[in-house]
Structure 1
Amino acid sequence: MERVLFTNGRVLDPVAGALSTQEVLVEGERIIATGTGLPREAGTRIIDLQGRTLMPGLIDCHVHVTAQSLDLWSNVTAPSSLSALRSARVMEETLQRGFTTLRDLGGADLGLVRGVEEGLIAGPRLVICGKGLTTTGGHADLRGLTDGRPDMMSDRLGSMGMIVDGVDNIRAACRTMIKEGAKFIKVMANGGVSSPNDPIHSIQYSRDEILAMVEEAENAGLYVSAHVYTDRAIRRCVELGVHSLEHCNLIEPETAALAAAQGCIAVPTLVAYDALAIEGEALGLGPAEFAKIEVVRQGGLKSLQVMRDAGLLMAFGSDLLGDLRKYHGMEFELLAKVLTPAEIIRSATVIGAKLCGLDAETGRIEAGLCADLIVVDGNPLEDILCLAANGAKMPVIMARGRFAKNQLS
């Protein structure tokens, strides 16, 4: 196994939000030592950082790697083999932005997970939920108002959701997702921006149905993640035992405090709405879609302040589809309007690792952890925009001990 020694740089500790002068030694997939004066055995590759910052690889906790296009039906109807090839390209591009772990919120399957693990895809580690569960007419039900065809496309890789109604059917769907490699269950518990039939304020699924999801997930040692915008929907999910709260643009202080007390983690995705606002006209979005976008955009920055003040942990997320992925780095800029660089870095490392169930594997630079590392030109604790350039200021990217990029050899 190759040994790599990173030297002459500053190591970023995301927990403390501080830099220290250390060396980091990697062997195979693991970090085997940190400190000063580490041994330089024959054959060790030495990477001279020349004062640059070495930090943990980034984690995006809300992606859809199979959503190659903003035309969601075209994703669904694409052959699954084509969708897999497109997804591999999306993952490879995301790794080049410094993201070494992705949490997929609907679409990706075990084949993509194993493709990375077996080295067939040069992409980030992938944590999946299978398909997001939605009600008839809910978020992820892409059928038009008068389209009464049954849901026959949820088995396609490009489909992000599955229509499931009723407690018994939900239990069966959850068990199937878990059997097929899901690490959490995703529920569409609120209306959405990109779906045709559900206004944002709509509440989706009965309490009994969500409780069934929570029980099935907990039985497997997992949790439920919910697509939610409104305070009412968020509070309802928290009360029912949902752990991960996606988006949360319209959350209020009392609900945020309750979620924090319950140990929940929120995943704001502000860039998704700014990107849609920028590109929406060209994409053919109508007045109804723009109205929904503006509602969540206006609440987004406020929600960051509300959640931080309540002590509610936040993980980094983007939720960008299709060509909008070019705005990935903008999420750092938006978060920086409210949060400090140290808070943003924690959201994209240690908190993200915790939400992915990988806090014993990644998110920090410590002996024994996986070698998910990036080298950054500059100090992200002073200038978070070092991370916002979509990898342009990252001369080295290492995922699980393998160089995805190395311009310092």
Structure 2
Amino acid sequence: MTSMLVRGGHVLDVAAGELNEHDVLAVDGRIVEVGTDVRAPHGAEVIAAAGLVVMPGLIDAHVHVTAATADLSGLGTWPVSYVTAHAATILRDMLHRGFTTVRDASGADFGLARAQREGLLAGPRIAFCGKALSQTGGHGDGRGPGQTAMEDTDYCAGLGRIADGVDAVRRAARDELRKGAHHIKVMASGGVASPTDRIDSTQYSDAELVAVVEEARAANRYVAAHAYSARAVNKALRAGVRSIEHGNLIDDESVALFRKHDAFLVPTLVTYWALKEEGISYGLPASSWEKVDAVLDAGIRALERAHAGGVKIAYGSDLLGGMHRHQSREFSIRGQVQAPADVIRSATVVAADLLDTSGEIGALLPGTRADMLLLDGDPLADLTVLAEPGDHLRAVVQDGAVVVDRR
């Protein structure tokens, strides 16, 4: 039995949005007690946290841990072993920013998740979808207009696989579920990084979307959909999709549908800022860079609309290549619209709810995993504390063990 006592910190109750001077006791990687004057078992590791804020480990609900370049079409030509080496560095750096769990939105697979779980890779635990499903010419089709060969996308290092028609998307969804996918992702609209589609397009028919949702539900899983325009978002929500990724161009009907279907929005605002500033230098093709303006400014307005309408909003970053280092900047961007407590909830309890792991991660309560951050500063008063972890993050605890120590 291993035990750890974090003593005398200001423990953040994320649901209430308040700090309490409490101790936190973890045994065998789980929190067993939170309160005052908690006694440490014999042999427990004791961490003095006086003057520090103790909060749950962060959850990023939209990452691509294998996206070591912004040239996603080119990524599919990289050797899987080389991509894995890059992913190990990306994962380690995420952990050092305080993210103890991530939801990979295409690219990661059971091998990476298993390697992290077994301690072969240092990084956040990974909820993965495998390859995103895309129609021909959709956001997951990396072929340029002059390419005709349909390459095997199922087992390369790319992020997507092509499936057309109800039977084909059922087969593709079943295959990703066979490989252990925690959720299925579909490309339901055009995107920035794809070469032959338009941002405002809708992708996949109603019947195809419903078929994927049916397969996910049969396996007690859910579907996430990449979608920008209100037309694409609303179509996906009516089909039963659980989370909308990006959603920069939603309208009032979208908000009503989110509420009706108890669905989640995962904005990824930092990626548009990063793509505009640095995308070209990290491999983003010029044709994709020119699409960024169509969604850059709209993202903040969409966040305002969703927040005012009571939509459940989870934290996402969606960064590519060398831009991964901006992952924490999303806190500052969200803070332009939401109160700090709401932004923090998006990266803890709301994200845990989206991942179907409420009571497992995202809060410091008896029974949850002992994932904790020790911060020099109060994020409820200033989101810079989370947006600039290099200046404020003193330690990261994952499953009851100190994995990053800057004390």
Instruction: Report if the CA contact (8 A) 2:69-2:282 is conserved.
Output: no
The equivalent residue for 1:397 is 396
Q: Deviation of residue 389 (structure 1)? A: 1.1
For 1:9-408, list aligned pairs within 5 A: 9-156=9-156, 158-283=157-282, 288-408=287-407
Instruction: Report if the CA contact (8 A) 1:151-1:163 is conserved.
Output: no
Structure 1: which 5+ runs fail to align?
A: none
Instruction: Report if the CA contact (8 A) 1:328-1:390 is conserved.
Output: no
Aligned residue type for 1:181 = G
Aligned residue type for 1:136 = T
Distance 1:311 1:137 in 2: 35
Q: Deviation of residue 8 (structure 1)? A: 1.5
Aligned residue type for 2:398 = A
Q: Deviation of residue 327 (structure 1)? A: 1.4
Aligned residues: 407
Instruction: Report if the CA contact (8 A) 1:151-1:162 is conserved.
Output: no
Q: Deviation of residue 187 (structure 1)? A: 0.3
Distance 2:301 2:345 in 1: 20
Deviations 1:137-157 (A, max 9, x none): 11021111121111313312x
Higher alpha-carbon deviation: 170-179 or 32-41: 32-41
Aligned residue type for 1:183 = H
Flag the 1:281–1:132 CA change in 2: closer, same or farther, 3 A.
closer
Deviations 1:56-76 (A, max 9, x none): 000000001011111223421
The equivalent residue for 1:7 is 7
SS of residue in 1 equivalent to 2:197: coil
Deviations 1:359-399 (A, max 9, x none): 12100001111011101111100001100114431111011
SS of residue in 1 equivalent to 2:199: coil
| Length-normalised TM-score, structure 1 | 0.97
Distance 2:170 2:15 in 1: 38
Structure 2: which 5+ runs fail to align?
A: none
Instruction: Report if the CA contact (8 A) 1:77-1:153 is conserved.
Output: no
Distance 2:73 2:234 in 1: 32
Aligned residue type for 2:310 = G
Percent identity reads: 42
Deviations 1:78-99 (A, max 9, x none): 2212222221211111000000
RMSD of aligned alpha carbons: 1.4
Q: Deviation of residue 288 (structure 1)? A: 4.4
Instruction: Report if the CA contact (8 A) 2:7-2:48 is conserved.
Output: yes
Aligned residue type for 1:31 = I
Q: Deviation of residue 287 (structure 1)? A: 6.3
SS of residue in 2 equivalent to 1:211: helix
Distance 1:306 1:114 in 2: 39
SS of residue in 2 equivalent to 1:318: coil
| Length-normalised TM-score, structure 2 | 0.97
Q: Deviation of residue 136 (structure 1)? A: 0.6
Distance 2:163 2:286 in 1: 30
